């Protein structure tokens, strides 16, 4: 039985990742990271999801690092969250430089300490156009780095089972696995409801529709 550390952001993708790993027979611990993102709604969602599955869950405080990563709409309150689709050039404003490398390597260290043999991330094909640290070549490099860094001291691997999968495919998988998608949070803006206009809201709504699932999300505004 594989002991895996899952990076759980609280979003739809990482929610399905946890469901998938458990379905595959993994022993799963979850780690969520506060890297200074502009709201805590997704971290609250991560706690609810971990509680749902009754898995070990810990929050890592990297807010000091996040304060250095200015210029992103996700970490800098002076940068407006862009509205539209992930295919839009404006979504580059949501890039947090090297974020996934930082998060993954923290998780690799935790995995080695806990005698876990893998770290899993929920990056997917829809992320590729905007985020360089979500692409297959990055995952391959991160895995190589993890193996080298823990050789003889845990031999931890990095895996991304959704790296070639669409958001719709992930939503469909979550539906089949009965994942608690209603507990997940995607919106970049935070607030009482999903805004319905930022890239993750638009992508979330499309994924439910295209997967033929009922969307449990309440959106403040629904764009055409």
Residue 73's pLDDT is what? Answer: 58
| 3-state secondary structure at position 92 | helix
Nearest in space to 16 (alpha carbons), one of 169, 194, 195: 169
Residue 78's pLDDT is what? Answer: 66
The model's pLDDT over 130-142, given as tens digits with 9 standing for 90+, comes to: 788 889 999 999 9
Number of domains in the chain: 1
Ranges in the chain, pLDDT < 50: none
Residue 173's pLDDT is what? Answer: 98
Q: What pTM, to 2 d.p., does this model score?
A: 0.92
Check if the beta carbon of residue 74 is closer than 8 Å to that of residue 48.
no
Q: Is residue 159 part of a domain?
A: yes
Q: Is residue 191 part of a domain?
A: no
Print the domain residue range for 26.
3-79+96-186
Concatenated DSSP letters for 148-208?
Answer: HHTTTTT--EEE-TTTT--HHHHHHHHHHHT--GGG----SS-SSSB-S-BHHHHHHHHHH
Check if the beta carbon of residue 19 is closer than 8 Å to that of residue 179.
yes
Residue 224's pLDDT is what? Answer: 53
- Say which CATH number the domain at 107 has: 3.40.50.620
Q: Is residue 55 part of a domain?
A: yes
Residues β-bridged to residue 83 = 198
Q: Is residue 198 part of a domain?
A: no
Residue 90's pLDDT is what? Answer: 59
Q: Is residue 66 part of a domain?
A: yes
Q: Is residue 222 part of a domain?
A: no
Give the separation between CA 40 and CA 53, rounded to whole angstroms: 20
Beta pairing, strands 118-120 & 56-61 = unpaired
């Amino acid at each position: 039985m594989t002991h895996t550390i899952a990076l759980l952001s609280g979003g739809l993708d990482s929610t399905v990742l946890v469901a998938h790993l458990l379905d595959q027979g993994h022993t799963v611990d979850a780690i969520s990271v506060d890297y200074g993102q502009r709201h805590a709604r997704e971290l609250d969602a991560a706690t609810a999801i971990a509680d749902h599955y009754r898995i070990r869950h810990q929050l890592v405080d990297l807010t000091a690092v996040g304060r250095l990563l200015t210029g992103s709409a996700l970490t800098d309150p002076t940068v407006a969250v862009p509205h539209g689709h992930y295919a839009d050039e404006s979504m580059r404003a949501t890039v947090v430089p090297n974020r996934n490398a930082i998060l993954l390597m923290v998780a690799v260290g935790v995995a080695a300490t806990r005698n876990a043999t893998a770290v899993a991330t929920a990056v997917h094909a829809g992320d590729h156009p905007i985020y360089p640290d979500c692409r297959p070549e990055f995952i391959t490099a991160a895995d190589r780095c993890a193996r080298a860094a823990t050789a003889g001291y845990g031999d931890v691997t990095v895996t991304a089972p959704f790296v070639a999968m669409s958001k719709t495919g992930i939503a469909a998988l979550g539906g089949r696995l009965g994942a608690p998608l209603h507990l997940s949070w995607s919106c970049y803006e935070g607030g009482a409801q999903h805004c319905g206009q930022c890239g993750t809201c638009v992508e979330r709504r499309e994924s439910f529709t295209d997967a033929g699932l009922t969307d449990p999300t309440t959106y403040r505004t629904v764009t055409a």
